[in-house]
Amino acid sequence: MGPAALEDLITAFARLPGIGRKTAQRLALYVIKTPRQEADALASALVAAKEGIVYCARCFNFSDRGQELCVVCRNPRRDQQVICVVEEASDVIALERSQLVSGTYHVLGGALSPLDGIGPNDLRIEELLRRVGEDGEVTEVILAHNASAEGEATAEYIYQRLSAFTKVTRLARGLPVGSDLDLADRVTLAHALEGRQSF
């Protein structure tokens, strides 16, 4: 065991998702060894992120404090008639990196999970329904959920609620590029066969 301040720093890092005790210790020791300016810059960036990031009033993506709408919703070149629905704001970052979505987004804030006590009222589903209903101009809602039981349940629920008002599509599921058929599980193979296309 080391000084109490080091233990506190390790414990703080270990609270982050995906960071185990060993990685937390490595990060803490790295911070201790770096020059004071780098540690100050890290601390300042953490505080600035907490104070300067808010949620977009329309889609609930990350936005800068003082801006009602996020960068995507403010962009006049984005197709306002297409809404891509995702579970978390981190999904928006991944999709934006691909530069394949030309529409806007709607961040639900999670997925339906009855075992964890997360129902429709705990997500931003009603806000999505209002966006589709109020605008009346939404021509497509793309469901871009994680390929999990919770993601599937959430997509099915939203489809049931929206299909009478607009076109609802979902991301194709199947085999990733570079994978071998003999290593794919049954569910992945089933999705790949269902989503097959003409050559």
> What confidence score (pLDDT) does residue 174 get?
75
> What confidence score (pLDDT) does residue 118 get?
94
Q: Range of 154's domain? A: 77-170
**Do residues 35 and 87 share a domain?**
no
Divide the 199 residues of the chain into consecutive groups of 10 and give the mean pLDDT of each group: 86 94 95 94 94 96 95 95 95 90 95 92 95 84 89 93 91 75 74 70
Domain for residue 179, yes or no? Answer: no
DSSP state of 55: E
Q: d(Cα 191, Cα 199) in Å, to the nearest integer?
A: 17
> How are beta strands 140-143 and 53-55 bridged, if at all?
unpaired
> How are beta strands 140-143 and 79-86 bridged, if at all?
parallel
Domain for residue 184, yes or no? Answer: no
Q: What CATH number has the domain bearing residue 38?
A: 1.10.8.420
> What confidence score (pLDDT) does residue 153 get?
92
> What confidence score (pLDDT) does residue 65 get?
94
In whole angstroms, what separates CA 47 from the centre of its chain? 22
**Do residues 46 and 102 share a domain?**
no
**Do residues 13 and 98 share a domain?**
no
Torsions phi, psi of 142, nearest 5?
Answer: -100, 120
Q: What is the C-alpha radius of gyration for the chain, rounded to an integer number of angstroms?
A: 21
In whole angstroms, what separates CA 90 from the centre of its chain? 4
- What SS3 state is found at 141? strand
Q: How many domains, the chain? A: 2
Domain for residue 160, yes or no? Answer: yes
**Do residues 88 and 165 share a domain?**
yes
> What confidence score (pLDDT) does residue 52 get?
95
- What SS3 state is found at 190? helix
Domain for residue 102, yes or no? Answer: yes
**Do residues 96 and 163 share a domain?**
yes
> What confidence score (pLDDT) does residue 159 get?
95
> What confidence score (pLDDT) does residue 198 get?
62
Nearest Cα to Cα of residue 127 among 113, 144, 141, 139: 141
